[in-house]
Amino acid sequence: MRFLTLTQLLHRSSSASEVLRARRKIPTRGWVRDLLAKQKEGSYWVYPKSCYHPKYTGTVWTLQLLAVLGMDGANPRIRNSCERFLGIHMMPDGGYSCGIHSKRFSEECLTGRMTAVLLEFGYSIEDLRIWNAFEWLLENQLEDGGWNCRHGPKVYHSSIYSTYMALWAFSKIPAQQANTSTRKAVKKGVEFMLAHRLFKSHITQEIIRRDWLRFSFPPNIAYDVLQGLKLMTDLGVARDKRLKDALDLVESKKLPDGRWALDAVPSPKKDKTSELTIELESKGKPSKWITLNSLIVLSRTGRNVSSSK
């Protein structure tokens, strides 16, 4: 949290001595140390045959969490797990599949999720295993500007969650490596999200899902408004008036002492394992993660955060 606060909120240079010290300590203490301790054979978590399962605690989900917590992807244990994922889940069409058996198909949410994670861990967009995933996402963007991981009958309307995941991947492309196609895809995807105010029907303005109003951690497992705002500001969208409802929600959740509480710990409804989720902070208690990201989005969008501690 110190590393993320220094770099994302206080804008310290990645080469600053205090930043380098903080990042070196990430794998040696606290959350990341505990997550790494659960890794098996230096390359997977929980289940060796699938990186996706069990949902929320398997390799995919743990890698995602380690990536957003600032873990260095050059670490051999991280690189081993990433290569394991690519070896099992990469499809011939360039996308990534959740399945491991005969009925496999590339899936938008997983492709976006893991492309973002791999880039965060230092993989290059020039790596064909990464670029082909982006090509697949470009080919599967819907006419309304977003993405939808629902398969079966033809889908014409995008999903907020699927679009969020795809845009998360595009947000990790270095600015100098973005091309016309990727910039156009981002513009369309962002417009889809903004048309929905990040959480509302673009037709009725009704809230799509009430649980999106509950800020959760670990992130990117269950979508919420704060994550949508963080992604928009990562993409440089900070002054659009359609962010107002989401920003008002963030401000309304600030506690009297200037902190924010954790509303929810994501957990699947059904799972064959006894360990259903990774819980790092306590529900209902002040949260370092939610507080940091609330301060980041309020600061980036010009909201007054001077009274927050």
Q: pLDDT (tens digit, 9 = 90+) per residue, 201-212?
A: 999 999 999 999
Q: pLDDT (tens digit, 9 = 90+) per residue, 36-62?
A: 999 999 999 999 999 999 888 999 999
Residue 74 lies in a domain: no
Residue 243 lies in a domain: yes
Residue 291 lies in a domain: yes
Residue 214 lies in a domain: yes
Q: pLDDT (tens digit, 9 = 90+) per residue, 248-307?
A: 999 999 999 999 999 999 876 555 554 567 889 999 999 999 999 999 999 999 997 654
Residue 109 has pLDDT above 90, yes or no: yes
Q: pLDDT (tens digit, 9 = 90+) per residue, 61-76?
A: 999 999 999 999 999 9
Q: How many CB atoms lie within 10 A of CB 83?
A: 12
| Alpha-helical segments (H) within 121-257 | 128-139, 160-171, 180-195, 225-234, 244-252
Q: Give me the pLDDT at residue 308, please.
A: 42
Q: How many CB atoms lie within 10 A of CB 262?
A: 22
Q: Give the sign of the dihedral formed by CA 137, CA 139, CA 145, CA 146.
A: negative
Domain that holds residue 258: 209-309
Residue 309 lies in a domain: yes
Residue 153 lies in a domain: no
Q: Give me the pLDDT at residue 268, please.
A: 65
The alpha carbon torsion through 45, 51, 54, 60 (nearest 10 deg) reads 80
Residue 290 lies in a domain: yes
Residue 59's nearest CA partner among 49, 69, 68 is 49
Q: Give the sign of the dihedral formed by CA 46, CA 277, CA 29, CA 114.
A: positive
Q: Give me the pLDDT at residue 102, please.
A: 67
Residue 308 lies in a domain: yes
**Domains in the chain, number:** 1
